[in-house]
Amino acid sequence: MAAEIITDTQSTADPVDAVFALHRGGKMEIRATVPVRDADDLSLAYTPGVARVCTAIAERPELVDDYTWKSNTVAVVTDGTAVLGLGDIGPEASLPVMEGKAILFKQFGGVDAVPIALACTGVDEIVETVVRLAPSFGGVNLEDISAPRCFEIEKRLQERLSIPVFHDDQHGTAIVTTAALWNAAKVTGRQVGDLRAVISGAGAAGIAIAKMLLAAGIGDVAVCDRRGVVHQDREDLTDVKAEIAALTNRAGLRGSLAEALNGADVFIGVSGGTVPEEVVATMAPGCFVFAMANPTPEIHPEVAHRYAAVVATGRSDFPNQINNVLAFPGIFAGALSVRAGRITEGMKLAAAKALAGVVADELTPQKVIPSPFDERVAPAVTRAVAEAARAEGVARA
């Protein structure tokens, strides 16, 4: 995921440190949206008046969306096994990140979100727990759950629930990356269908990016893990990697990441590590480098600019930040606004197109993606996702 950048791993809480000062007491709270000033207010908000609303929902369950917070509230669920930059740190330690995610939902999408850190890591346990929590929420945002379990968890939850389930580490990253790639091609006068991309990282983000680039019409894409190119002749592939091997690498590449990058038009890094400058130099002239590892990009922008026409990172202190906050608030706002039962591939592509379109008339190599603080972003993504949901028949309002 590229939504939060965690750079300070100091283990001792320092009350003078601005970061610890900001986090003291947590970063969010619950507030009432109606007054309770006297007995009349109390009788409407709680007993006896609330019983009438409960009875109505019992008779017509769909009314829960009209008369509770459900229609605009998302559960942000993690088990703390793949927290950005920190890895498997457990549920308690992951909670500050989940709180951060929740306030971004509210700030950028107007969506209420509740951080839920689970003290379990088994696929069955997580699925059953979320299913039991689901009646309280209009959607589920899965966060920082390690691969390959994250794929199975998302799949099984969406099969069992009639509300959107969205693993942001996968799809949010893929949506923003695809939008940036479309605009990088446009600003350099190229066609996406003519590009060959190489993705470093075969985890949640890498797999999702590969699938979305294929849907967006990329000429070819190869995915690399620690052993090199993921291809169909490898005997060590998980089911997820075997699936992506069958869909990608039309060029039939074998060998290492360095070998795959020779002549490649696009590098997309979602794995960490370092790509040597001499390897970057073998890429095609006018290439694109999206080095998104945090806090240290796989290829430093200063090095990338020596060879690449467009450079993007996951960091806020360089141009073209690939940041998930550009996607997930608007995606959920759009899906919730029409009470969509799921988030489809078409809705994800619509989000990417809308995001790319925000800066379509302002493109430069240093601006192929909007700023997270561009106020046009969330409304554009929200509209596009809602329209796509209606077009695909998953909207219920």
Q: Of 101, 211, 241, 353, which residue is the catalytic one?
A: 101
- What tokens does 310 get? 């467009």
186 belongs to the catalytic site = no
| Annotated binding-site residue? 392 | no
> Is residue 246 classed exposed, middle or buried when 0-12, 13-18 and 19+ CB atoms within 10 A define those classes?
exposed
Cα-based angle 291, 297, 299 (whole degrees, multiple of 5): 70
46 belongs to the catalytic site = yes
Helix boundaries (H) for the chain = 18-23, 39-45, 49-59, 64-67, 91-109, 123-133, 149-160, 168-187, 204-215, 239-247, 257-261, 277-280, 301-304, 328-337, 345-358, 377-391
| Annotated binding-site residue? 124 | no
| Annotated binding-site residue? 143 | yes
| Annotated binding-site residue? 141 | no
* Residue 6: CB atoms within 10 Å: 14
Instruction: Please give the distance of CA 20 from its chain centroid, rounded to a whole number.
Output: 26
Cβ contacts of 69 within 8 Å, gap of 6 or more:
112
Query: 116 with 98: CB under 8 angstroms?
Result: yes
Q: Running DSSP on this structure, what letter comes out for residue 197?
A: E
Cβ contacts of 142 within 8 Å, gap of 6 or more:
77, 78, 150, 153, 154, 157, 165, 166, 167, 168, 169
| Annotated binding-site residue? 66 | no
- Residues annotated within the binding site are 143-144, 169, 294, 323
The residues assigned a catalytic role are 46, 101
- Residues annotated within the binding site for a divalent metal cation are 143-144, 169
- Residues annotated within the binding site for (S)-malate are 294, 323
